[in-house]
Amino acid sequence: MISVQEASVVVPAHRRGEADRVLLDRISLELTEHRIAVIGANGSGKSTLLRLFNGLRAPTSGRVSVAGKDTVKDAAAVRARVGFVFTDPLAQLLMSTPVEDVALSLRAKVKDRAERARRAQELLDLRGVGHTAHQSIYDLSGGERQLVALTSVLAVEPRIVVADEPTTLLDLRNRGQLREVLAGLPQQVIVSTHDLDFAADAERVIVVDAGRVIADGEPREAIAAYVAAMAR
Ligand SMILES: Nc1ncnc2c1ncn2[C@@H]1O[C@H](COP(=O)(O)OP(=O)(O)OP(=O)(O)O)[C@@H](O)[C@H]1O
């Protein structure tokens, strides 16, 4: 379980006379539900919040832990447990072809090189992108790329998947496909999204506004609170 206790993220002012920037302001959350969506306007702090969950970002004050492990002090254990999917898969695909990228994720678990490549191919097949295995990642469509990135993240067998606007760059069909894949995962899945239909599928919706949680709970009510806040 992810636990956020009074976590703030503050960026110090760059110039004299400027105020510090508070990106997140004393957030406390216990994330126990299987499907959680985080929504909020552009720049409200969703990405910053999600990055706290796997230690990509450290809180300036307060504490974030995953299954009792501190995201700063136990960073490696936390990263192994919490997989992170970026909006732009090119930000996370490190190798030049899908099969190499997934094999890289398998490195800790499968020592033999040939076996690693075989397993990587199997995992890509499972996600319906096996045919892209040896293509350059730059030649893949956006949807294929996102599925390859997700396959690489899942290859590490994380207990929790955190996905930062994973459908934003996708067309309607690929968006639907990715939503389906995420919905079918056995892991706990926490996504940020601007797609309110996607958010409505979650068990719990957290609304972030200017670095604060302004609504948190059952999707219908939380989404209504977000829509009302946007209208103000
Ligand atoms: N390192 C940083 N230094 C200064 N400001 C930052 C830094 N990182 C993020 N910000 C600012 O924090 C605010 C929140 O950013 P964040 O990416 O968390 O928002 P978001 O809700 O995910 O937005 P979007 O929906 O547009 O992706 C933005 O105004 C952003 O410019």
Return the domain boundaries, the chain.
2-92+156-231
Ligand 1 mean position, distance from CA 49 (Å): 10
The lowest-confidence range among 40-44, 53-57, 140-144 is: 140-144
Predicted confidence (pLDDT) at residue 191 exceeds the cutoff of 90: yes
The beta-carbon contacts of 138-146 under 8 Å, at least 24 apart in sequence, are 140/98, 141/174, 142/89, 142/169, 142/170, 142/171, 142/174, 143/170, 143/171, 143/173, 143/174, 143/177, 143/178, 145/89, 145/90, 145/93, 146/85, 146/89, 146/170, 146/174, 146/178
Q: How far apart are CA 5 and CA 61, in angstroms?
A: 9
Residue of minimum CA distance from atom 3 in ligand 1: 11
pLDDT of res. 206: 98
State the pTM of this model.
0.93
Q: Give just the sign of the alpha carbon dihedral 146, 156, 159, 64.
A: negative
Ligand 1 mean position, distance from CA 46 (Å): 8
Q: Does domain 2-92+156-231 have CATH number 3.40.50.300?
A: yes
Is the CB of 43 within 6 Å of ligand 1? yes
Q: Which of 10, 46, 167 to mutate to test the pocket of ligand 1 (most atoms within 8 A of CB)?
A: 46
Is residue 45 within 8 Å of 24, Cβ to Cβ? yes
Is the CB of 193 within 6 Å of ligand 1? no
Q: How far apart are CA 145 and CA 137, in angstroms?
A: 7
**Average pLDDT over every residue of 207-228:** 96
Residue of minimum CA distance from atom 7 in ligand 1: 11
- Asked casually if ipTM beats, i.e. exceeds, 0.90, the reply is yes
